Amino acid sequence: MAALIPGLKVKVEGEYNQDRKLVATSVKFSGGDLQKAQLAEAASRQHRQETEQHKVELEKQSAALKAQNEQLQLHEEQLVSHKAQIEAAVARFGDMDDYYILDEVTVYFANGKVKVDPKYEAPLLELTTMAKDVQGYVIAVTGYASSTGSTEVNQKLSEDRANNVTNILRQKANVPLTRILAPGAMGESRQVNNDKSAEGEAENRRVVVRVLQNKAIAGI
């Protein structure tokens, strides 16, 4: 009975019972036919397994492609958001026609770093001390980054750098919030040096702090 598999050619002898069902009394087949049937069954079983495995692989690839598309869409949304932030910062800080720039201090940062080197605290305090004698002064803090790395990471670096410098102005120089413009994060825009050497990149990892006076207040 174990040899009776699909596709095997057999010769059956028997009689019909009262229910008109054939009851075999003899089943014969050749060894060659059995071997062919076994090979066909094995090939069919392998085909089913390969088909199922291929189906599983296709499902995995489909899921991975879906996840990749979602990641790309998120990345595009982040780029749009970063672009809007940069454009807003450019609108605030790019046009200084209505202001006099009375003095400024530039704070430089190591690659990928946002912590302010303590050596800059003295120049910043001196700048704010001078500013207090200026009628209607405001302080603009603008952060930048070099073009090394991804745009979104550099945007975040410029933002964190500007915020850290602003905290020094508020906490150590006691500059009132009403005198500090919202920190601007310019990311990779406004590169001062397109040189890709270490020295050239270092010039762009900066925060520029400016003391401004409105020309109308100055009487111009």
**pLDDT tens digits, residue range 150-190?**
889 999 999 999 999 999 999 999 999 999 988 888 988 88
Answer yes or no: is 149 within a domain: yes
CATH number, domain with residue 211: 3.30.1330.60
Query: Is 56 domain-assigned?
Result: no
Here the tokens at position 40 are 């066909």
Q: Which domain holds residue 194?
A: 94-218
The answer to whether residue 17 is domain-embedded is: no
Report pLDDT digits (tens) over 77-91.
877 776 676 666 555
Per-residue confidence (pLDDT) for residue 188, from 0 to 100: 86
Q: What is the mean pLDDT of the chain?
A: 85
Closest listed residue to residue 113, CA positions, set 82, 79, 154: 154
User: Quick check: 25 pLDDT over 90?
Assistant: no
Query: What is the helix (H) or strand (E) element at residue 25, kind and residue range?
Result: strand 22-28
Query: Is residue 193 situated within a structural domain?
Result: yes
Q: Which two tokens stand for residue 215?
A: 């020309």
Q: pLDDT tens digit string along 104-150? A: 999 999 999 999 999 999 999 999 999 999 988 999 999 999 988 88
Model confidence at 94, in pLDDT bands (50, 70, 90)? very low
Could you tell me the pTM of the whole model?
0.56
> Is 119 part of a structural domain of the chain?
yes
In tens, the pLDDT along 32-52 reads 888 887 888 888 888 888 898
Cα separation, 26 vs 16, whole angstroms? 13
Say if 88 falls within a structural domain. no
| Residue 11: strand, helix, or coil | strand
Greater confidence (88 vs 65) lies with 65
pLDDT of residue 65 exceeding 60, the answer is yes
pLDDT tens profile 190-212: 888 776 788 888 899 999 999 99
Number of domains comprising the chain:
1
> 164 in a domain, yes or no?
yes
What pLDDT was estimated at residue 122?
95
Structure tokens at 209: 């702090």
- The structure tokens 């990149």 sit at 201
End-to-end distance of the chain based on CA atoms, in angstroms? Answer: 110
Those residues with Cβ within 8 angstroms of residue 189's Cβ, 6 or more apart along the chain or in another chain: 86, 90, 144
Is 133 inside a domain boundary?
yes
Closest CA to 106 of 160, 144, 163: 144
Backbone phi and psi for residue 108, each to the nearest 5 degrees, phi listed first? -105, 155
The single residue listed with the structure tokens 């704070």 is 107
